[in-house]
Amino acid sequence: MLQHSPKHLGYNNSMERKYLIPGSVLFAGIVIAISVFVLRSNYFEQKAPWEDVPPRPVTVADIIIGSPEARVMMVTYSDADCTVCKEFHQTLMQIGTEYAPNKDFAWVYRHLPIVSVNSFSRTHAEASLCVKAVAGDAIAIRFLDEIRARAPGSNEFDPKNYPSIFSLLNLPQEEVQRCITSGTFRTQVQGDAEYAISKGAYGAPFSVLVTNKEVRYISGAMPYEELNKIVREALAQ
């Protein structure tokens, strides 16, 4: 049982602070009222006022880089079409590549689709999990990388163009498409997004660093240097 108080780490940059109007986000048949804004620079840390509850346990359905038994987990809730998420994805890939091989660290990619802003984001979330189910973690990450590469910046990737990615990755297109169409992972995506929102997510990306001593919440896209420091400190505990 975790005994330490959770901490909330924020990132905010005056050069790119993007406010999205508070609104009702239609998400898998329910309406979640949230105010969304992207946090980027000026690092700050404060104790979180909410209950210290880690994310749900990692399962075979999750997209994970590293061991599911790792003692330090970085669980990131992201939106595949979010501009800042695309930038942070590269940072997390670097962190995962450096630390996951030692078996003590793992990066788990989960979803926080902001469908009121990025209309295809929920479909991308479910599609990536379908790819994972069919071809594994590495191919699911490559699928997300292709979405990011083909729709850089604020561009959105249209799901009608999935077949070209499926072909590139040698995926069984009919099987993956059937999984997407049937909504196989809709409940999982919804549950993960609701968890992030309940823990104070102002928008995507939102990350949770879980160790055997504490839970830390990170809002926004943290630069590599800062995130690397936090991960090293967690591994040293």
**pLDDT for 172 beyond 60:** yes
Confidence of residue 10 (pLDDT cuts 50, 70, 90): very low
55 confidence band (pLDDT: 50, 70, 90)? confident
CB 115 within 8 A of CB 129: no
Residue 53 — pLDDT band, cuts 50, 70, 90? low
- pLDDT tier at 18 (50, 70, 90 boundaries)? very low
pLDDT tens per residue, range 85-142: 999 999 999 999 999 988 899 999 999 999 989 999 999 999 999 999 999 999 999 9
- Asked if 86 and 120 touch (Cβ cutoff 8 Å), the reply is no
Does the predicted model carry a pTM greater than 0.85? no
* pLDDT confidence bin for 52, thresholds 50/70/90: low
The sign of the CA dihedral 30, 34, 36, 41 is negative
Q: Is residue 1 situated within a structural domain?
A: no
In the predicted model, is pLDDT for residue 147 greater than 60? yes
Q: Domain count of the chain? A: 1
Mean pLDDT, residues 2-12 taken together: 40
What is the domain-level CATH number for residue 148?
Answer: 3.40.30.10
Q: Confirm whether 2 is domain-assigned.
A: no
| Residue-range definition of the domain harbouring residue 189 | 7-236
- Classified as helix, coil or strand, 55 is coil
- Residue at 117 is within a domain: yes
Whether the CB-CB separation of 71 and 42 falls below 8 Å is answered with no
168 against 7, higher pLDDT: 168
Among 13-27, 156-170, 217-231, name the most confident range. Answer: 156-170
Separation between Cα atoms, residue 86 and residue 84, nearest integer Å: 5
The answer for 49, left when phi > 0, alpha when psi is -120 to 50, beta otherwise, is alpha
> Does residue 168 lie within any of the structural domains?
yes
pLDDT at 56 over 90: no
